[in-house]
A and B are shown apart, each in its own frame.
Chain A
Amino acid sequence: MYFAKEVLESSSKMRKRWEDEVKKLVSKWADQKPEAQWSTVSDLPIKRLYTPDDIKDMDFERDISYPGQYPYTRGNQVTGYRGKYWTFRMFSGMGDAATTNERWHMLLKEGQTGLSTAFDFPTLMGYDTDSPKARGECGKCGVAIDTLEDFLVLTKGIPLDKITTSMTINPPATALWAMYCAAAEIHGIPLNKIGGTIQNDMLKEFIAQKTLMCPPEPSVKLISDTVEFGTLHVPKWNTISISGYHIREAGATAVQELAFTLRDGMEYVEDVLRRKKLDVDSFGPRLSFFFNAHCDFFEEICKMRAARRIWAKAMKERYKSKDERSWWMRFHTQTAGCSLTAQQPYNNVVRTATQALSAVLGGTQSLHTNSLDEVWCLPSDFAVQIALRTQQIIAEETGAATTIDPLAGSYFVEALTNEMEKQAWDYIHKIDDMGGMVAAIEKGFPQLEISDAAYKFQRQIDSAEKIMVGVNKYVSTEKETIPFLEIDDKIELEQIERLAAVRRKRDSKAAMKCLSDLKAACKKGENVMPFCIEAVKALCSVQEICDVYREVYGEYRDPGLY
């Protein structure tokens, strides 16, 4: 029991008195807000007040503990942010490789401490810029990369052994990671010195973001290949960033984000154990996570605290891991794109600031803050600087980073953390019963749960049961104009020309040989990574590599379930 009996008794008496007074007052109020507004943005009901009663069944050692101690509710690091702030990592990429390289250098100069790559859609989907499917997409929502040549321009002047780079890339992750490895080799940096992350999380693509290529089963196989290759050769690389971000953006509740993301993580662990026969502690420490920081302040903090606790329990108890580094849930956070509004865009700076603060109080290891103009287009230099400064202000001015897990022990925060953990486990067990996440996805379970939540939320916005400032309350007719970044349509032609030049100059025979070797490896079920590295060095393109996968494993199309 968390409190002495006497404390609970006196609390109970005092609560009775308080409740009576509240009742008296409330009965006089004519216009009470609708119930939905007394719940979180995800519809978790929230009480007016939390008291010792709400956490009386907690056990300090079991549930809260200390930073750096199981179950890590309070964080993995014993020194919190005093040793090192979270990594200021702004997701960026636009136009061609040279333009993005320029933005990267600007960000590093302004105090960013890690890189994060946004690719354009052809690259994300494993098509080259000259594919008919890629028309109009080149460089629009990220950087266009077709071959290693582009990649070398992208990383020009970046010390790959000193700075860590995150790459948001999923179906073609093997190809892009192979380019990173090849680039390191060309710069004379051994693979065990490079660090970074590839997102490489296909399950959430089927569930939420729909960056699709091959069916679930071979997709997970490719991911297990990268985990194995990383474990053996690139030990400082996070080979999966198990992502809740996109699940949330697709309309999931906070609990669904928590549950589906962690269950995805478990699916990957189980697949590697089954397929690669690796020891769980040989790869467990390199699994990383990625969460959304949405607008409900406390719900987000509690989600992150609960996430660490669930993962620690799962690794220790479910997978019998013995190395505490495997028990740590390390995660990156991005503020919620879907919470930004086109109306009154400067309000987005404020939203992003409070969301970022919740991520810091939730103990994130790395953070991206959205720019105010991202509901309109890719961020301008001006907007991205405010977003970066937002992190720096939180770190340097607010004192939020001074004390570790400052909200621990709060009746509310602990109770909500417990509740979210409980609801997440319920989902996890339900998916276990379906036969795991791949089976659940084939049934459409997580997709439909998210669809329902998204529709319900939109209805709540329409009826103003839930409030979005500037959208359904405090609406202003005055127009605010902000500067927009423009991506020139002509870079598509330039990129197509660059790709054609690479194809002209490369040794075609050698390139084709690499692709047929890769194909043979796929058919035999060998690890594809060594073959990918050879292929990118021979200047095979992203699409050429992905076409091999599509041919051998088949193509997966969105089943569009309702």
Chain B
Amino acid sequence: MEITKKIQGGDIRAASRLIRNLEDRMPEAKLTIKHLFPLTGRAHVIGITGSPGAGKSTLTDGLIDCFRKKGKTVGVLAVDPTSPFTGGAILGDRIRMQRHAEDPGVFVRSLATRGALGGLAKAVGDAIHVMDVLGEDIIIVETVGTGQQEVDIINHSHTVLVVLVPGMGDEIQAIKAGILEIADIFVVNKADREGSSKLSRELMAMLDMAPPSAFQGGWRPSIMKVENAFQPESFNKALDDICNKIEEHYKHLVDKDLIGSRMRRKATVELNEAIRATILEPVLLKLLGSGRMEELIEKVMKKEIDPYTAAEDIAKRNLEGCL
């Protein structure tokens, strides 16, 4: 297929159009993904999550620089929230990465959540595939950062960075949201601020309390510090260290044969999603389109039927052939 070839050949315009079509859920885009799928699995996918104002985009910008210096190509998927009121979104993360705009080895793409929970956009999984086939060595996925349950990132990444900032109540938030369990590397950002050593100590204590089984293949999450982004020398040094740590983590996954188990999560989620999209959605659409859904809702409200019986009826009518 022509578009597959174009993307394999590094055609950014074709890739960005395909990602657009995936976001917009155009049927032909799904078709293309079928062709791309066998070609994926090359890239090292890095997830970056953390609360708003934690400095995720600035870190991403710095990491792009580090990986470029190592001769790697970099793709970035930056997710921002869709307004629930208007359906619109301001995608502002790339502002902080614009200095790389002219570098042909960097491809930054902004995505809106469009109602997806979990800190990512629905199309992220497929967009990663597109960037992978496009030839990006490194793919950085930056989550929304609402401070909510942003754990979906682990399903798509080899290495997850959790960014925390002292004095923002991040510690407690993070533990509540369960994002501590997903971190391979903690970044204590803006570490020149008050409370930074306290935050590091608390993280350390938390890791000390975790059972050894929590550390996959014996990888104990590292705690890395980044000070003021406005002090170029120390900032760049800290970023280099993080970059090296990320590579070290990837090497750990390879050496311990853990890539497979990471990617199993992705496969599981993708299969689940695909089943939902292929089986459930057409049925729902049909019910909505025919007015049958409204009828059933009425009936359930009048207690003429219970939701379970209704669902079983639908399954019998629609899915028997499939199952």
Q: Do the two chains belong together in a single complex?
A: yes
Which among B90, B95, B96, B230 has the highest number of chain A CB atoms within 10 Å? B230
Q: In chain A between 530 and 555, which residues have their CB closer than 8 angstroms to a CB of chain B? A: 554
- CB within 8 A of A557: which of B53, B99, B232? B99
> Could you tell me if A554 and B230 are in contact, using CB atoms closer than 8 angstroms?
yes
A35: Cβ under 8 A from any B Cβ: no
Q: How far is the CA of A443 from the CA of B53 in the complex (A)?
A: 8
Cβ–Cβ < 8 Å partners of B96 in chain A: 557, 559-560
Q: In chain A between 207 and 230, which residues have their CB closer than 8 angstroms to a CB of chain B? A: 215-218
Kindly provide the distance from the CB of A276 to the nearest chain B CB, expressed in whole angstroms.
21
Q: A218-B230, A561-B92 are in contact. List 5 more A-B contacts (CB 8 A).
A: A556-B230, A557-B99, A560-B92, A560-B95, A562-B92
- Chain B residues near A (Cβ < 8 Å): 53, 90, 92, 95-96, 98-99, 230-232
Kindly provide the distance from the CB of A554 to the nearest chain B CB, expressed in whole angstroms.
4
Which among A554, A556, A562 has the highest number of chain B CB atoms within 10 Å? A554
User: Could you name 10 residue pairs across A and B whose Cβ atoms are closer than 8 Å?
Assistant: A218-B230, A443-B53, A554-B230, A554-B231, A556-B230, A557-B98, A558-B95, A559-B95, A560-B92, A561-B92
Q: How far is the CA of A560 from the CA of B92 in the complex (A)?
A: 7
> Could you tell me if A217 and B230 are in contact, using CB atoms closer than 8 angstroms?
yes
Cβ–Cβ < 8 Å partners of B98 in chain A: 557
Kindly provide the distance from the CB of A498 to the nearest chain B CB, expressed in whole angstroms.
29
Render A471-482 as a binary contact track against B, CB cut-off 8 A, 1 for contact.
000000000000
Q: How far is the CA of A559 from the CA of B53 in the complex (A)?
A: 11
Q: How far is the CA of A413 from the CA of B171 in the complex (A)?
A: 50
Q: How far is the CA of A218 from the CA of B228 in the complex (A)?
A: 13
> Could you tell me if A215 and B92 are in contact, using CB atoms closer than 8 angstroms?
no
Q: How far is the CA of A217 from the CA of B192 in the complex (A)?
A: 14
Q: How far is the CA of A562 from the CA of B95 in the complex (A)?
A: 11
Across the A-B interface, give the 5 residue pairs with the lowest CB-CB distance, nearest first.
A215-B230, A560-B95, A554-B232, A562-B90, A562-B92
Q: How far is the CA of A558 from the CA of B53 in the complex (A)?
A: 15
Cβ–Cβ < 8 Å partners of A558 in chain B: 95
Q: How far is the CA of A556 from the CA of B95 in the complex (A)?
A: 12
Which residue of chain B has the shortest Cβ distance to A550 in the bound complex? B232
Kindly provide the distance from the CB of B226 to the nearest chain A CB, expressed in whole angstroms.
14
Kindly provide the distance from the CB of B300 to the nearest chain A CB, expressed in whole angstroms.
42
Which among A216, A443, A556, A557 has the highest number of chain B CB atoms within 10 Å? A557
Cβ–Cβ < 8 Å partners of A561 in chain B: 92
- Chain A residues near B (Cβ < 8 Å): 215-218, 443, 554, 556-562
Kindly provide the distance from the CB of A237 to the nearest chain B CB, expressed in whole angstroms.
29
Q: How far is the CA of A562 from the CA of B90 in the complex (A)?
A: 8
Q: How far is the CA of A557 from the CA of B230 in the complex (A)?
A: 10
Kindly provide the distance from the CB of B57 to the nearest chain A CB, expressed in whole angstroms.
9
Which residue of chain B has the shortest Cβ distance to A555 in the bound complex? B232
Q: How far is the CA of A554 from the CA of B228 in the complex (A)?
A: 12
Cβ–Cβ < 8 Å partners of A218 in chain B: 230
Cβ–Cβ < 8 Å partners of A557 in chain B: 95-96, 98-99
Cβ–Cβ < 8 Å partners of B53 in chain A: 443
Which residue of chain A has the shortest Cβ distance to B230 in the bound complex? A215
Q: How far is the CA of A561 from the CA of B230 in the complex (A)?
A: 17
Kindly provide the distance from the CB of B234 to the nearest chain A CB, expressed in whole angstroms.
11
Kindly provide the distance from the CB of A27 to the nearest chain B CB, expressed in whole angstroms.
37
Q: How far is the CA of A554 from the CA of B95 in the complex (A)?
A: 18
Q: How far is the CA of A304 from the CA of B158 in the complex (A)?
A: 59
Kindly provide the distance from the CB of A340 to the nearest chain B CB, expressed in whole angstroms.
28
Q: How far is the CA of A556 from the CA of B230 in the complex (A)?
A: 7
Cβ–Cβ < 8 Å partners of A215 in chain B: 230
> Could you tell me if B95 and A216 are in contact, using CB atoms closer than 8 angstroms?
no
Q: How far is the CA of A559 from the CA of B231 in the complex (A)?
A: 16
Q: How far is the CA of A290 from the CA of B95 in the complex (A)?
A: 31
Q: How far is the CA of A294 from the CA of B184 in the complex (A)?
A: 54
Kindly provide the distance from the CB of B233 to the nearest chain A CB, expressed in whole angstroms.
9
Which residue of chain B has the shortest Cβ distance to A551 in the bound complex? B232
Q: How far is the CA of A554 from the CA of B92 in the complex (A)?
A: 22
Kindly provide the distance from the CB of A532 to the nearest chain B CB, expressed in whole angstroms.
22
Cβ–Cβ < 8 Å partners of B231 in chain A: 554
Q: How far is the CA of A556 from the CA of B53 in the complex (A)?
A: 17
Q: How far is the CA of A562 from the CA of B91 in the complex (A)?
A: 10
Cβ–Cβ < 8 Å partners of B92 in chain A: 560-562
Kindly provide the distance from the CB of A455 to the nearest chain B CB, expressed in whole angstroms.
12
Q: How far is the CA of A556 from the CA of B58 in the complex (A)?
A: 12
Q: How far is the CA of A558 from the CA of B96 in the complex (A)?
A: 8
- CB within 8 A of B230: which of A216, A443, A560? A216
Which residue of chain B has the shortest Cβ distance to A561 in the bound complex? B92
Q: How far is the CA of A330 from the CA of B33 in the complex (A)?
A: 67
Kindly provide the distance from the CB of B237 to the nearest chain A CB, expressed in whole angstroms.
13
Kindly provide the distance from the CB of A110 to the nearest chain B CB, expressed in whole angstroms.
45
Cβ–Cβ < 8 Å partners of A216 in chain B: 230
Q: How far is the CA of A528 from the CA of B92 in the complex (A)?
A: 36
Cβ–Cβ < 8 Å partners of B232 in chain A: 554
Which residue of chain B has the shortest Cβ distance to A217 in the bound complex? B230
Q: How far is the CA of A503 from the CA of B92 in the complex (A)?
A: 41
Kindly provide the distance from the CB of A212 to the nearest chain B CB, expressed in whole angstroms.
12
Q: How far is the CA of A216 from the CA of B53 in the complex (A)?
A: 18
Kindly provide the distance from the CB of B284 to the nearest chain A CB, expressed in whole angstroms.
35
Kindly provide the distance from the CB of A475 to the nearest chain B CB, expressed in whole angstroms.
28
Kindly provide the distance from the CB of B89 to the nearest chain A CB, expressed in whole angstroms.
10
Q: How far is the CA of A559 from the CA of B92 in the complex (A)?
A: 9
Which residue of chain B has the shortest Cβ distance to A443 in the bound complex? B53
Kindly provide the distance from the CB of A488 to the nearest chain B CB, expressed in whole angstroms.
30
Which among B92, B96, B232 has the highest number of chain A CB atoms within 10 Å? B232
Cβ–Cβ < 8 Å partners of A443 in chain B: 53
Q: How far is the CA of A273 from the CA of B232 in the complex (A)?
A: 26
Which among A218, A443, A560 has the highest number of chain B CB atoms within 10 Å? A560
Cβ–Cβ < 8 Å partners of A556 in chain B: 230
Cβ–Cβ < 8 Å partners of B99 in chain A: 557
Kindly provide the distance from the CB of B262 to the nearest chain A CB, expressed in whole angstroms.
33
Q: How far is the CA of A218 from the CA of B95 in the complex (A)?
A: 23
Which residue of chain B has the shortest Cβ distance to A219 in the bound complex? B230
Q: How far is the CA of A557 from the CA of B96 in the complex (A)?
A: 8
Q: How far is the CA of A558 from the CA of B57 in the complex (A)?
A: 13
Cβ–Cβ < 8 Å partners of B90 in chain A: 562
Which residue of chain A has the shortest Cβ distance to B80 in the bound complex? A562
Which residue of chain A has the shortest Cβ distance to B232 in the bound complex? A554
Kindly provide the distance from the CB of B36 to the nearest chain A CB, expressed in whole angstroms.
33
Q: How far is the CA of A305 from the CA of B297 in the complex (A)?
A: 66
Cβ–Cβ < 8 Å partners of B95 in chain A: 557-560
Kindly provide the distance from the CB of B230 to the nearest chain A CB, expressed in whole angstroms.
3
Cβ–Cβ < 8 Å partners of A559 in chain B: 95-96
Kindly provide the distance from the CB of B227 to the nearest chain A CB, expressed in whole angstroms.
12
Q: How far is the CA of A216 from the CA of B92 in the complex (A)?
A: 21
Q: How far is the CA of A560 from the CA of B97 in the complex (A)?
A: 11
Kindly provide the distance from the CB of A247 to the nearest chain B CB, expressed in whole angstroms.
21
Kindly provide the distance from the CB of A459 to the nearest chain B CB, expressed in whole angstroms.
14
Kindly provide the distance from the CB of B54 to the nearest chain A CB, expressed in whole angstroms.
13
Which residue of chain B has the shortest Cβ distance to A215 in the bound complex? B230
Cβ–Cβ < 8 Å partners of B230 in chain A: 215-218, 554, 556
Kindly provide the distance from the CB of A135 to the nearest chain B CB, expressed in whole angstroms.
15
Kindly provide the distance from the CB of B128 to the nearest chain A CB, expressed in whole angstroms.
25
Kindly provide the distance from the CB of A40 to the nearest chain B CB, expressed in whole angstroms.
29
Q: How far is the CA of A419 from the CA of B99 in the complex (A)?
A: 45
Kindly provide the distance from the CB of A535 to the nearest chain B CB, expressed in whole angstroms.
22
Which residue of chain A has the shortest Cβ distance to B91 in the bound complex? A562
